[in-house]
Structure 1
Amino acid sequence: MSTACFTAVSRCLLCAGALLAAGMVAPRAFAESAYPSRPIVMIVPQAAGGTNDIVGRVVSQKLADKLGGSAVVDNRPGAGGNIGTQAVAKAPKDGYTLLMTISSSQAINPALYKAPGFDPVSDFEPISLIGAVPNVLLAYPSFPARTVPELLALAKSRPGELQYASAGNGTLNHLLGEMLNQMAGIELQHVPYKGVAPALNDVLGGQLPLLFGSLPSTLSHIKSGRLRALAVSSAQRSPVLPEVPALAEFVPDYNGTLWIGLFAPAGVPKDVLSRLREGMRQVMADKEMRDKLEAQGVELAGTPDKPVMGAEFAAILQQDLVKWARIVKTSGATIN
């Protein structure tokens, strides 16, 4: 290299160093360490007011506080959660668009829809499992079976006659009934509605006797006596309804909770992903957050000092994909 060229290169390097020292340019490592430098958008693929939306708003604010930034919740309902999920799968891989979703969208839709528009595993990076919300097997108060054993005996004596309502074909409360049919050897007849509200209203009105309903949305009806809780769908009893048995006490291995978890698009830089997981580790240990969600009937995952994150969360998703694919196939439910 000539003396003139060497001098020119040296001057360029000196200028770059001066600019860096003055804060006018920043290396990649410094730029990423500033995350988050703008608001994080947490997409909830369900409508406002539901359990997932409630959880998303509590968690997003706490996560923003822990990371020293801000966050907004963006509800993108439609197609059973597929629209919002697709949006996150296609979002920039920078950690500023996250997905707060539920197992029915992430673990059931891939088997239910012929073209959901996303891959639940390869398109996402699991950050943290938040918790689970059990459904409750509910009966109209005058229904003759007052316990699960009585229900099973009645169903076996009258195969195909007892009906249960759901929010529609392939919804979680449909598949919970189908799973009970398969595991208990009974034949409850499924009656689909266009949404959970009309299904719940008809059970409240006595038009149909049975329904699987989420604990947060039906707790007031249970406490008022307008509906009788026969069992919860989780593997253990719910702390919110400790007197109500779990279906697994009568049907071994029955477990049909709705989990809620946080994902990032696949391809987010490792250091950003690490910051998100550390932020969620602090969120899951936050007593105020835990108290708020537990009051809503959410059974939080793990413990305050050992949350369910990363690979452990990914393993739960894989297990559920297999379980629900089998149940969807047996039920014959499909959506184009």
Structure 2
Amino acid sequence: MTLIARRSLLAGALLAPALAGAQSAYPGRTVRVINAYSPGGTADVVCRILFARLSERLGQSFAVENRPGAAGTIAAQAVARAPADGYTLLYDATAHSVNPALFGSRLPYDTRRDLLPVFLAMVTPNTLMVTNGFGPRTVPELIAHAKANPGRLDCASTGIGTVQHVSLELLNHRAEIRINHVVYREIAAARNDLTSGRVPMQFSNVPSTLPVTQANQARCLAHCGPAPIAQLPGIPGFAETLPGFETWEWNGVFTPAGTPGEVITRLNAELNATIRDSVVIERLTGLGALTRPNTVEEFAAFRDQQTEFFTGMVRMANIRID
């Protein structure tokens, strides 16, 4: 062995414990959590609940930074280009699995290659809210009403290709009806028009539905889950009329590709512990945000399944962003 080789071997031997110690000490400084959505929405509320508790658990700050826009792609691109050291995380939601089909080659990153799944933070079924004065009271009545009035009913969403839009297109397809998609730029405007009666319907999710129905500003006609939802007693699922009808909103945590496996494993373990915390359980349950323990591999498989579903829906409904 040459002198240079012996020195390189010695340097590697001395460096290895230092690297191992640095990884075991993670996080050693503030971690940025870039949230792809606006303050106050479901993704923001759940994100802050989880990372506030995680900060307490680990004794290090996980600072949430909202960076909304372009269906989550602005935040995702920023994280995809960030150093792969575990100190910049992405908190993304359902649009993450829609965007590859929606934007195609215009997407400024490769979702699967550039962003690694860490933890599935929550899932929640979508819901269909209607104005208090809306005539149909059940899914069969809604379908019959839509068939009797083709193209005369409107349904709000906050954007083309959103899960709310996809839920509407799935309903149109499965029930063989035509309800118009009305796009709003922000959730507040859509909600105001729903509660005032300007637009009769809006797909939403359980956490966003509860405060509106509890205030008697609108009512929930049905949900998109496969089983009864405790927070929506007596509200039927679309699947009771249209078997297999399911759409979900989900939130998850990602890191840039190249992040050390030890860091991802630690984050997954600590986030799993966080959702088992009694205070976190109470707060998320009250919101209607469902959690479940999950491994990195399980979340990766879930992302692939959701991406496949939304790709099929985007093609079936010919959803396009011009």
Per the TM superposition, whether the score is higher than 0.5 is yes
Partner-residue secondary structure (3-state), 2:119 = strand
* Pairing partner for 2:103 from 109, 113, 120: 113
In the TM superposition, what is the alpha-carbon distance from 1:26 to its structure 2 partner? Answer: 6.1
- 2:123 maps to 132
- Name the residue aligned to 2:297: 311
Contact 1:165-1:211 within 8 A present in 2 as well: yes
Alignment of 1:48-63 (within 5 A): 48-63=39-54
User: What root-mean-square deviation, in Å, do the aligned CA atoms of Structure 1 and Structure 2 show?
Assistant: 2.5
Once residues 127 and 17 of structure 2 are traced to their aligned partners in structure 1, the CA distance between those partners, rounded to angstroms, is 54
Asked if 1:162 corresponds to 2:153, the answer is: yes
Deviation at 1:148, TM superposition (A): 0.9
* Aligned: 1:257 with 2:248: yes
SS in 1 for 2:53: helix
- Give the partner amino acid of 1:258: E
Query: Is 1:212 aligned with 2:203?
Result: yes
2:191 alignment partner AA? L
1:240 aligns with 2:231: yes
Aligned to 1:183: 174
CA deviation after TM superposition for structure 1 residue 195, in Å: 2.2
- Structure 2 matches for 1:1-336, cutoff 5 A? 27-104=18-95, 106-114=96-104, 115-300=106-291, 302=292, 307-336=293-322
**Aligned letter for 1:242?**
P
- Distance in 2 (alpha carbons) for counterparts of 1:148 and 1:223: 21
Contact 1:126–1:309 (CA under 8 A) maintained in structure 2: no
Confirm or deny: 8 A CA contact 1:39 1:71 kept in the other structure. Answer: yes
Distance 1:188-1:34 versus aligned 2 partners, 3 A rule: same
Larger radius of gyration: 1
Q: Which runs of 5+ in 1 are unaligned?
A: none
| Conserved 8 A contact 2:224-2:246 | yes
Give the letter for the 2:210 counterpart. Answer: L
Q: Partners of 1:220 and 1:69 in 2: how far apart?
A: 33
Letter in 1 for 2:321: I
SS of the counterpart of 2:155? Answer: strand
Which amino acid in 2 is paired with 1:315? Answer: A
Measured against aligned partners, the alpha-carbon deviations of 1:165-212 in whole angstroms (never above 9, x if no partner) come to 222322222211001111222211222222222222222222221111
Q: What CA distance in whole angstroms lies between the structure 2 residues aligned with 1:275 and 1:308?
A: 13
Q: Tell me whether 141-150 or 185-194 shows the greater mean CA deviation.
A: 185-194
2:146 and 2:179 in contact (8 A); partners too: yes
Q: 1:41 touches 1:97 (CA, 8 Å); kept in 2?
A: yes
CA drift of 1:220 comes to 2.4
Q: Structure 2: how far apart are the matches of 1:271 and 1:25?
A: 14
Paired AA for residue 281 in structure 2: R
Helix, strand or coil at the partner of 1:100:
strand
Inter-partner Cα distance in structure 2 for 1:32 and 1:326: 40
Structure 1 CA distance, aligned partners of 2:21 and 2:211?
Answer: 51
Q: Which amino acid aligns with 1:335?
A: I
Counterpart-to-counterpart distance in 2, 1:183 and 1:90: 40
What is the rounded CA distance, in whole Å, between the counterparts of 1:163 and 1:75 in structure 2? 31
Distance change in 2, residues 1:79/1:206 (3 Å): same
Q: Which moved more, 1:41-50 or 1:223-232?
A: 223-232
CA contact (8 A) 1:66 1:282 kept: no
- Per the TM alignment, residue 25 of structure 1 is displaced from its structure 2 partner at its CA by 11
SS at match of 1:128: strand
**In 1, distance between residues paired with 2:304 and 2:267?**
22
